[in-house]
């Protein structure tokens, strides 16, 4: 999706999800930035759990490494 379409979809999802429990599986990690809880799975096990901000602040964290790799990949594209 282009950035504008992604933004429109994200806004619509946020409106529909208000007051509900929503399970989101994300490949583009920026789409879960506002999630109240993020569970990071590795080999079928939860290895990290927290908010976006908390997870990116874990030194050598799995989620932090994924965000960094994705950010580098987007910058190179």
User: Alpha-carbon distance 11 to 53, whole Å?
Assistant: 20
* Rg of the chain (C-alpha set): 13
Task: Classify strands 38-42 and 45-50 as parallel, antiparallel or unpaired.
Answer: antiparallel
Domains of the chain, by residue range, sit at 3-76
Query: Does 4 have pLDDT greater than 70?
Result: yes
**pLDDT value at position 62?**
97
**pLDDT value at position 37?**
96
**pLDDT value at position 77?**
54
pTM exceeds 0.85 for this model: no
**pLDDT value at position 74?**
63
Q: What is the pLDDT of residues 31-77, one digit of tens each?
A: 899 899 999 999 999 999 999 999 999 999 999 999 999 988 766 65
Beta bridge partners of 35: none
């Amino acid at each position: 999706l282009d950035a504008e379409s992604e933004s429109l979809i994200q806004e619509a999802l946020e409106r529909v999800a208000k007051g509900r429990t929503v399970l989101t599986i994300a490949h583009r990690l920026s789409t879960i930035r506002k999630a109240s809880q993020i569970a990071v799975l590795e080999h079928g096990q939860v290895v990290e759990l927290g908010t976006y901000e908390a997870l990116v602040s874990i030194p050598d964290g799995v989620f932090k490494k994924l965000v960094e790799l994705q950010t580098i990949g987007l910058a190179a594209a």
